[in-house]
Amino acid sequence: MPSAEFWYEFASTYSYPAALRVAALAEARGVSLVWRPFLLGPIFAAQGWRDSPFNLYPAKGRYMWRDLERTCAAMGVPLKRPNPFPQPSLLAARVALALEGDQRAHFSRRVFAAEFGEGMAIGDRATLGALLTDCGIDPAAGFERAESDANKARLKAECARAAEIGIIGAPSIVAHDGEVFWGNDRLEQGLDWAAARAAKSP
Amino acid sequence: MPSAEFWYEFASTYSYPAALRVAALAEARGVSLVWRPFLLGPIFAAQGWRDSPFNLYPAKGRYMWRDLERTCAAMGVPLKRPNPFPQPSLLAARVALALEGDQRAHFSRRVFAAEFGEGMAIGDRATLGALLTDCGIDPAAGFERAESDANKARLKAECARAAEIGIIGAPSIVAHDGEVFWGNDRLEQGLDWAAARAAKSP
Protein backbone atom coordinates (compact mmCIF):
# COMPACT_ATOMS: atom_id res chain seq x y z
CA MET A 1 0.00 0.00 0.00
CA PRO A 2 1.43 3.41 -0.91
CA SER A 3 2.10 5.75 1.98
CA ALA A 4 2.59 9.44 2.57
CA GLU A 5 3.15 11.77 5.50
CA PHE A 6 0.93 14.68 6.41
CA TRP A 7 3.00 17.33 8.22
CA TYR A 8 0.96 19.96 10.02
CA GLU A 9 1.29 22.72 12.61
CA PHE A 10 -1.58 23.65 14.92
CA ALA A 11 -0.87 27.38 14.57
CA SER A 12 -1.00 27.19 10.78
CA THR A 13 -4.16 28.51 9.15
CA TYR A 14 -4.04 26.38 6.01
CA SER A 15 -3.41 23.28 8.10
CA TYR A 16 -7.02 23.65 9.29
CA PRO A 17 -8.83 22.90 6.00
CA ALA A 18 -6.08 20.44 5.12
CA ALA A 19 -6.60 18.45 8.32
CA LEU A 20 -10.32 18.22 7.59
CA ARG A 21 -9.77 17.10 3.97
CA VAL A 22 -6.69 14.94 3.93
CA ALA A 23 -7.96 11.62 5.32
CA ALA A 24 -10.72 11.26 2.70
CA LEU A 25 -8.33 12.27 -0.10
CA ALA A 26 -5.79 9.68 1.00
CA GLU A 27 -8.40 6.96 1.38
CA ALA A 28 -9.80 7.65 -2.10
CA ARG A 29 -6.32 7.05 -3.53
CA GLY A 30 -5.53 4.03 -1.39
CA VAL A 31 -2.71 5.92 0.32
CA SER A 32 -1.86 5.13 3.93
CA LEU A 33 -1.32 8.38 5.81
CA VAL A 34 0.96 9.15 8.75
CA TRP A 35 0.03 12.32 10.66
CA ARG A 36 3.13 14.22 11.73
CA PRO A 37 2.57 17.27 13.94
CA PHE A 38 5.52 19.66 14.12
CA LEU A 39 6.37 23.29 14.87
CA LEU A 40 7.10 25.91 12.25
CA GLY A 41 8.84 28.18 14.77
CA PRO A 42 12.34 26.76 14.26
CA ILE A 43 11.91 26.80 10.47
CA PHE A 44 10.71 30.40 10.46
CA ALA A 45 13.46 31.40 12.90
CA ALA A 46 16.03 30.01 10.47
CA GLN A 47 14.67 32.47 7.89
CA GLY A 48 14.96 35.35 10.35
CA TRP A 49 11.25 35.47 11.22
CA ARG A 50 10.24 35.82 14.86
CA ASP A 51 6.51 35.90 14.12
CA SER A 52 4.15 34.50 11.52
CA PRO A 53 4.99 35.89 8.08
CA PHE A 54 1.28 36.76 7.88
CA ASN A 55 1.83 39.21 10.74
CA LEU A 56 5.24 40.39 9.57
CA TYR A 57 3.85 41.18 6.10
CA PRO A 58 0.38 42.64 6.68
CA ALA A 59 -0.61 42.74 2.99
CA LYS A 60 0.13 39.03 2.78
CA GLY A 61 -1.81 38.46 5.99
CA ARG A 62 -4.88 40.29 4.67
CA TYR A 63 -4.78 38.23 1.50
CA MET A 64 -4.38 34.97 3.44
CA TRP A 65 -7.37 35.58 5.70
CA ARG A 66 -9.59 36.41 2.72
CA ASP A 67 -8.31 33.39 0.79
CA LEU A 68 -8.94 31.18 3.82
CA GLU A 69 -12.48 32.59 4.14
CA ARG A 70 -13.17 31.56 0.56
CA THR A 71 -11.59 28.13 1.09
CA CYS A 72 -13.67 27.45 4.21
CA ALA A 73 -16.85 28.77 2.59
CA ALA A 74 -16.34 26.45 -0.38
CA MET A 75 -15.91 23.51 2.03
CA GLY A 76 -18.88 24.57 4.13
CA VAL A 77 -16.85 24.77 7.33
CA PRO A 78 -16.85 27.71 9.78
CA LEU A 79 -13.94 30.11 10.17
CA LYS A 80 -13.38 32.18 13.28
CA ARG A 81 -10.04 33.89 13.68
CA PRO A 82 -8.37 33.02 16.99
CA ASN A 83 -6.96 35.86 19.05
CA PRO A 84 -4.03 36.16 19.31
CA PHE A 85 -2.86 34.77 16.02
CA PRO A 86 -0.80 32.66 15.83
CA GLN A 87 -1.92 30.60 18.80
CA PRO A 88 0.74 28.97 20.99
CA SER A 89 0.82 25.45 19.61
CA LEU A 90 3.57 23.72 21.56
CA LEU A 91 1.36 21.88 24.04
CA ALA A 92 -1.13 20.76 21.39
CA ALA A 93 1.73 19.43 19.25
CA ARG A 94 3.17 17.51 22.20
CA VAL A 95 -0.21 16.02 23.07
CA ALA A 96 -0.88 15.00 19.46
CA LEU A 97 2.54 13.44 19.05
CA ALA A 98 2.06 11.39 22.21
CA LEU A 99 -1.07 9.83 20.69
CA GLU A 100 -0.87 7.26 17.91
CA GLY A 101 -2.73 6.38 14.73
CA ASP A 102 -6.40 7.26 14.56
CA GLN A 103 -6.39 8.89 17.98
CA ARG A 104 -3.78 11.37 16.83
CA ALA A 105 -5.71 12.20 13.66
CA HIS A 106 -9.00 12.49 15.52
CA PHE A 107 -7.59 14.70 18.28
CA SER A 108 -5.79 16.88 15.73
CA ARG A 109 -8.96 17.52 13.74
CA ARG A 110 -10.74 18.47 16.96
CA VAL A 111 -7.99 20.94 17.86
CA PHE A 112 -8.14 22.61 14.44
CA ALA A 113 -11.95 22.80 14.51
CA ALA A 114 -11.87 24.38 17.99
CA GLU A 115 -9.12 26.84 17.04
CA PHE A 116 -10.17 28.04 13.60
CA GLY A 117 -13.81 26.98 13.52
CA GLU A 118 -14.68 28.38 16.95
CA GLY A 119 -11.79 30.75 17.63
CA MET A 120 -10.81 28.95 20.84
CA ALA A 121 -7.48 29.32 22.65
CA ILE A 122 -5.65 26.06 22.00
CA GLY A 123 -2.66 27.06 24.09
CA ASP A 124 -4.98 26.66 27.06
CA ARG A 125 -4.58 23.44 29.04
CA ALA A 126 -8.28 23.34 29.98
CA THR A 127 -9.31 23.62 26.33
CA LEU A 128 -6.99 20.81 25.28
CA GLY A 129 -8.09 18.73 28.25
CA ALA A 130 -11.73 19.03 27.20
CA LEU A 131 -10.82 18.03 23.65
CA LEU A 132 -8.95 14.99 24.96
CA THR A 133 -12.00 14.01 26.99
CA ASP A 134 -14.16 14.39 23.85
CA CYS A 135 -11.81 11.96 22.14
CA GLY A 136 -12.21 9.45 24.96
CA ILE A 137 -8.73 10.06 26.34
CA ASP A 138 -8.06 10.79 29.99
CA PRO A 139 -6.60 14.33 30.06
CA ALA A 140 -4.22 13.69 32.96
CA ALA A 141 -2.76 10.66 31.23
CA GLY A 142 -2.62 12.51 27.90
CA PHE A 143 -0.72 15.46 29.36
CA GLU A 144 1.63 13.21 31.29
CA ARG A 145 2.66 11.37 28.16
CA ALA A 146 2.81 14.64 26.22
CA GLU A 147 5.14 16.29 28.70
CA SER A 148 7.48 13.40 29.30
CA ASP A 149 11.10 14.10 28.47
CA ALA A 150 11.00 11.42 25.79
CA ASN A 151 8.03 13.00 24.03
CA LYS A 152 9.49 16.52 24.24
CA ALA A 153 12.68 15.20 22.66
CA ARG A 154 10.67 13.38 20.03
CA LEU A 155 8.91 16.61 18.98
CA LYS A 156 12.25 18.39 18.74
CA ALA A 157 13.51 15.61 16.52
CA GLU A 158 10.40 15.90 14.34
CA CYS A 159 11.07 19.62 13.83
CA ALA A 160 14.69 18.93 12.91
CA ARG A 161 13.55 16.22 10.52
CA ALA A 162 11.10 18.61 8.85
CA ALA A 163 13.84 21.14 8.13
CA GLU A 164 16.18 18.38 6.96
CA ILE A 165 13.78 17.04 4.34
CA GLY A 166 13.04 20.50 2.93
CA ILE A 167 9.72 21.36 4.54
CA ILE A 168 9.26 25.14 4.44
CA GLY A 169 5.67 25.51 5.60
CA ALA A 170 2.55 23.71 6.71
CA PRO A 171 0.65 21.73 5.73
CA SER A 172 2.96 19.56 3.64
CA ILE A 173 2.56 16.16 2.10
CA VAL A 174 5.76 14.14 1.91
CA ALA A 175 5.65 11.11 -0.36
CA HIS A 176 7.61 7.97 0.49
CA ASP A 177 10.25 8.92 -2.09
CA GLY A 178 10.90 12.25 -0.32
CA GLU A 179 8.93 14.58 -2.62
CA VAL A 180 7.53 17.51 -0.67
CA PHE A 181 4.25 19.21 -1.57
CA TRP A 182 3.47 22.36 0.37
CA GLY A 183 0.04 23.79 0.96
CA ASN A 184 -3.59 22.87 1.37
CA ASP A 185 -3.82 23.28 -2.40
CA ARG A 186 -1.17 20.61 -2.99
CA LEU A 187 -2.76 17.76 -1.02
CA GLU A 188 -4.29 16.12 -4.09
CA GLN A 189 -1.07 16.44 -6.11
CA GLY A 190 1.06 15.01 -3.29
CA LEU A 191 -1.26 12.08 -2.69
CA ASP A 192 -1.58 11.43 -6.44
CA TRP A 193 2.22 11.37 -6.58
CA ALA A 194 2.42 8.89 -3.69
CA ALA A 195 -0.23 6.65 -5.27
CA ALA A 196 1.30 6.71 -8.76
CA ARG A 197 4.88 6.11 -7.66
CA ALA A 198 3.86 3.20 -5.46
CA ALA A 199 1.88 1.65 -8.32
CA LYS A 200 5.08 1.52 -10.37
CA SER A 201 7.04 -0.25 -7.63
CA PRO A 202 7.47 -4.03 -8.00
CA MET B 1 -19.97 38.78 -20.65
CA PRO B 2 -18.10 38.31 -17.36
CA SER B 3 -14.61 39.72 -17.23
CA ALA B 4 -11.47 39.34 -15.16
CA GLU B 5 -7.96 40.70 -15.12
CA PHE B 6 -4.81 38.62 -15.36
CA TRP B 7 -1.96 40.42 -13.58
CA TYR B 8 1.49 39.06 -14.35
CA GLU B 9 5.17 39.91 -13.99
CA PHE B 10 7.74 38.73 -16.52
CA ALA B 11 10.30 37.95 -13.80
CA SER B 12 7.81 35.76 -11.92
CA THR B 13 8.29 32.03 -12.24
CA TYR B 14 4.68 31.00 -11.65
CA SER B 15 3.50 33.60 -14.15
CA TYR B 16 5.07 31.38 -16.83
CA PRO B 17 2.72 28.36 -16.57
CA ALA B 18 -0.14 30.73 -15.77
CA ALA B 19 0.40 32.74 -18.97
CA LEU B 20 0.32 29.54 -21.00
CA ARG B 21 -2.87 28.27 -19.32
CA VAL B 22 -5.02 31.27 -18.58
CA ALA B 23 -6.52 32.08 -22.01
CA ALA B 24 -8.01 28.62 -22.49
CA LEU B 25 -9.33 28.55 -18.91
CA ALA B 26 -11.02 31.93 -19.38
CA GLU B 27 -12.49 30.96 -22.73
CA ALA B 28 -13.92 27.72 -21.33
CA ARG B 29 -15.79 29.77 -18.72
CA GLY B 30 -16.90 32.51 -21.10
CA VAL B 31 -14.80 35.06 -19.21
CA SER B 32 -13.29 37.98 -21.10
CA LEU B 33 -9.69 38.45 -19.97
CA VAL B 34 -7.61 41.64 -19.72
CA TRP B 35 -3.86 41.02 -19.57
CA ARG B 36 -2.18 43.44 -17.16
CA PRO B 37 1.62 43.31 -17.00
CA PHE B 38 3.13 44.96 -13.94
CA LEU B 39 6.25 44.93 -11.77
CA LEU B 40 6.54 43.22 -8.41
CA GLY B 41 9.61 45.29 -7.45
CA PRO B 42 7.66 48.13 -5.78
CA ILE B 43 5.40 45.65 -3.96
CA PHE B 44 8.35 43.62 -2.68
CA ALA B 45 10.23 46.80 -1.73
CA ALA B 46 7.26 47.86 0.41
CA GLN B 47 7.75 44.61 2.36
CA GLY B 48 11.45 45.34 2.80
CA TRP B 49 12.63 42.90 0.11
CA ARG B 50 15.31 44.06 -2.32
CA ASP B 51 15.48 40.77 -4.20
CA SER B 52 13.13 37.92 -5.03
CA PRO B 53 11.94 36.20 -1.84
CA PHE B 54 13.02 32.98 -3.56
CA ASN B 55 16.61 34.27 -3.40
CA LEU B 56 16.28 35.88 0.04
CA TYR B 57 14.93 32.62 1.50
CA PRO B 58 16.94 29.82 -0.16
CA ALA B 59 14.87 26.96 1.31
CA LYS B 60 11.77 28.55 -0.19
CA GLY B 61 13.61 29.03 -3.48
CA ARG B 62 14.67 25.38 -3.63
CA TYR B 63 11.10 24.30 -3.01
CA MET B 64 9.73 26.68 -5.63
CA TRP B 65 12.07 25.45 -8.40
CA ARG B 66 11.17 21.83 -7.68
CA ASP B 67 7.47 22.64 -7.53
CA LEU B 68 7.75 24.53 -10.81
CA GLU B 69 9.55 21.57 -12.40
CA ARG B 70 6.64 19.33 -11.43
CA THR B 71 4.10 21.89 -12.68
CA CYS B 72 5.84 22.25 -16.05
CA ALA B 73 6.31 18.49 -16.41
CA ALA B 74 2.60 17.92 -15.77
CA MET B 75 1.79 20.52 -18.46
CA GLY B 76 4.34 19.07 -20.87
CA VAL B 77 6.19 22.38 -21.24
CA PRO B 78 9.95 22.86 -20.93
CA LEU B 79 11.61 24.59 -17.98
CA LYS B 80 15.05 26.14 -18.18
CA ARG B 81 16.11 28.40 -15.36
CA PRO B 82 17.26 31.81 -16.63
CA ASN B 83 20.50 33.20 -15.27
CA PRO B 84 20.45 35.53 -13.43
CA PHE B 85 17.17 34.99 -11.67
CA PRO B 86 15.13 37.10 -11.49
CA GLN B 87 15.56 38.53 -14.98
CA PRO B 88 15.27 42.30 -15.41
CA SER B 89 11.70 42.66 -16.60
CA LEU B 90 11.17 46.41 -16.94
CA LEU B 91 11.61 46.65 -20.70
CA ALA B 92 9.47 43.59 -21.42
CA ALA B 93 6.70 44.99 -19.22
CA ARG B 94 6.83 48.33 -21.00
CA VAL B 95 6.73 46.67 -24.42
CA ALA B 96 3.80 44.45 -23.44
CA LEU B 97 1.85 47.32 -21.96
CA ALA B 98 2.28 49.36 -25.14
CA LEU B 99 0.61 46.58 -27.12
CA GLU B 100 -3.12 45.95 -26.92
CA GLY B 101 -5.48 42.98 -26.82
CA ASP B 102 -4.38 39.81 -28.54
CA GLN B 103 -1.00 41.26 -29.49
CA ARG B 104 -0.19 41.84 -25.84
CA ALA B 105 -1.23 38.33 -24.84
CA HIS B 106 0.64 36.75 -27.74
CA PHE B 107 3.85 38.71 -27.14
CA SER B 108 3.66 38.00 -23.39
CA ARG B 109 3.39 34.25 -23.91
CA ARG B 110 6.38 34.40 -26.25
CA VAL B 111 8.45 36.27 -23.65
CA PHE B 112 7.62 33.72 -20.93
CA ALA B 113 8.39 30.79 -23.22
CA ALA B 114 11.74 32.32 -24.19
CA GLU B 115 12.65 33.15 -20.58
CA PHE B 116 11.58 30.04 -18.68
CA GLY B 117 11.26 27.52 -21.51
CA GLU B 118 14.60 28.35 -23.15
CA GLY B 119 16.42 30.25 -20.38
CA MET B 120 16.89 33.34 -22.56
CA ALA B 121 17.80 36.81 -21.25
CA ILE B 122 14.61 38.84 -21.59
CA GLY B 123 16.24 42.01 -20.31
CA ASP B 124 18.13 42.01 -23.60
CA ARG B 125 16.82 44.40 -26.25
CA ALA B 126 17.86 42.12 -29.12
CA THR B 127 15.95 39.19 -27.60
CA LEU B 128 12.80 41.24 -27.15
CA GLY B 129 13.20 42.70 -30.64
CA ALA B 130 13.33 39.21 -32.15
CA LEU B 131 10.22 38.22 -30.19
CA LEU B 132 8.41 41.33 -31.47
CA THR B 133 9.37 40.40 -35.02
CA ASP B 134 8.04 36.88 -34.43
CA CYS B 135 4.75 38.46 -33.38
CA GLY B 136 4.62 40.51 -36.60
CA ILE B 137 5.44 43.77 -34.85
CA ASP B 138 8.16 46.13 -36.03
CA PRO B 139 10.71 46.21 -33.17
CA ALA B 140 11.68 49.86 -33.64
CA ALA B 141 8.05 50.95 -33.50
CA GLY B 142 7.38 48.62 -30.55
CA PHE B 143 10.27 49.99 -28.51
CA GLU B 144 9.39 53.58 -29.38
CA ARG B 145 5.87 53.18 -28.01
CA ALA B 146 7.18 51.20 -25.04
CA GLU B 147 9.63 53.89 -24.05
CA SER B 148 7.42 56.91 -24.52
CA ASP B 149 6.91 59.00 -21.41
CA ALA B 150 3.22 58.24 -21.51
CA ASN B 151 3.77 54.49 -21.52
CA LYS B 152 6.39 54.66 -18.76
CA ALA B 153 3.93 56.63 -16.64
CA ARG B 154 1.20 54.14 -17.47
CA LEU B 155 3.29 51.23 -16.18
CA LYS B 156 4.03 53.12 -12.97
CA ALA B 157 0.31 53.69 -12.54
CA GLU B 158 -0.36 49.98 -13.12
CA CYS B 159 2.10 49.08 -10.34
CA ALA B 160 0.46 51.56 -7.97
CA ARG B 161 -2.94 50.17 -8.88
CA ALA B 162 -1.78 46.60 -8.17
CA ALA B 163 -0.70 47.55 -4.65
CA GLU B 164 -3.89 49.52 -4.10
CA ILE B 165 -6.20 46.62 -4.92
CA GLY B 166 -4.30 44.22 -2.67
CA ILE B 167 -2.14 42.30 -5.13
CA ILE B 168 0.78 40.73 -3.24
CA GLY B 169 2.30 38.51 -5.90
CA ALA B 170 2.09 37.28 -9.45
CA PRO B 171 0.24 35.88 -11.20
CA SER B 172 -3.07 37.14 -9.85
CA ILE B 173 -6.60 37.00 -11.17
CA VAL B 174 -8.74 39.97 -10.21
CA ALA B 175 -12.48 39.54 -10.73
CA HIS B 176 -14.67 42.50 -11.73
CA ASP B 177 -15.90 42.77 -8.14
CA GLY B 178 -12.36 43.23 -6.85
CA GLU B 179 -11.70 39.73 -5.52
CA VAL B 180 -8.01 38.86 -5.80
CA PHE B 181 -6.78 35.30 -6.40
CA TRP B 182 -3.04 34.83 -6.15
CA GLY B 183 -1.06 32.08 -7.80
CA ASN B 184 -0.96 29.81 -10.81
CA ASP B 185 -2.96 27.38 -8.66
CA ARG B 186 -5.77 29.91 -8.19
CA LEU B 187 -6.50 30.65 -11.86
CA GLU B 188 -9.45 28.26 -12.04
CA GLN B 189 -10.95 29.49 -8.78
CA GLY B 190 -10.61 33.15 -9.79
CA LEU B 191 -12.15 32.60 -13.21
CA ASP B 192 -14.93 30.45 -11.73
CA TRP B 193 -15.64 33.30 -9.31
CA ALA B 194 -15.78 35.84 -12.14
CA ALA B 195 -18.09 33.62 -14.20
CA ALA B 196 -20.43 32.81 -11.30
CA ARG B 197 -20.78 36.36 -10.03
CA ALA B 198 -21.48 37.69 -13.51
CA ALA B 199 -24.15 35.03 -14.05
CA LYS B 200 -26.00 36.37 -10.99
CA SER B 201 -25.96 39.97 -12.26
CA PRO B 202 -29.21 41.24 -13.84
Nearest-CA neighbor of A8 among A189, A190, A182, A171?
A171
Using CA coordinates, name the residue in chain B closest to A57. B47
Using CA coordinates, name the residue in chain A closest to B68. A181
Percentage, residues of chain B above pLDDT 90: 87
Distance from the A189 Cα atom to the nearest Cα atom in chain B, whole angstroms: 10
The SS3 of residue A60 is helix
Q: Per-10-residue mean pLDDT for chain A, 202 residues long?
A: 96 98 98 97 84 85 96 97 96 98 97 98 97 97 98 97 95 97 97 86 52
Phi, psi of A23 (to 5 degrees): -65, -45
DSSP A102: H
The verdict on a CB contact (< 8 Å) between B66 and A180 is: yes
Q: Residue B34: is its pLDDT beyond 60?
A: yes
The residue type of B114 is A
Compute the count of residue pairs across chains A and B with CB atoms less than 8 Å apart: 46
Q: What does the pLDDT read at residue A71?
A: 97
* Reported confidence tier of residue B134, pLDDT bands at 50, 70, 90: very high
Using CA coordinates, name the residue in chain B closest to A68. B181
Question: The complex's ipTM?
Answer: 0.91
How much is the pTM?
0.93
Q: Residue B56: is its pLDDT beyond 90?
A: no
The SS3 of residue B173 is strand
CB A3 within 8 A of CB A176: yes
pLDDT by residue (tens digit) across B158-201? 999 999 999 999 999 999 999 999 999 999 999 999 999 876 65
Residue among A43, A46, A57 minimizing CB distance to B47: A57
Q: What does the pLDDT read at residue A200?
A: 63
Identify from B14, B54, B57, B197 which residue to disrupt to test chain A contact, counting A C-beta atoms within 10 A and taking the largest count: B57
The verdict on a CB contact (< 8 Å) between A63 and B189 is: no
Q: Which residues of B touch A182 (CB under 8 A)?
A: 63, 67
Q: What does the pLDDT read at residue A147?
A: 98
Residue among B67, B168, B185 minimizing CB distance to A59: B168
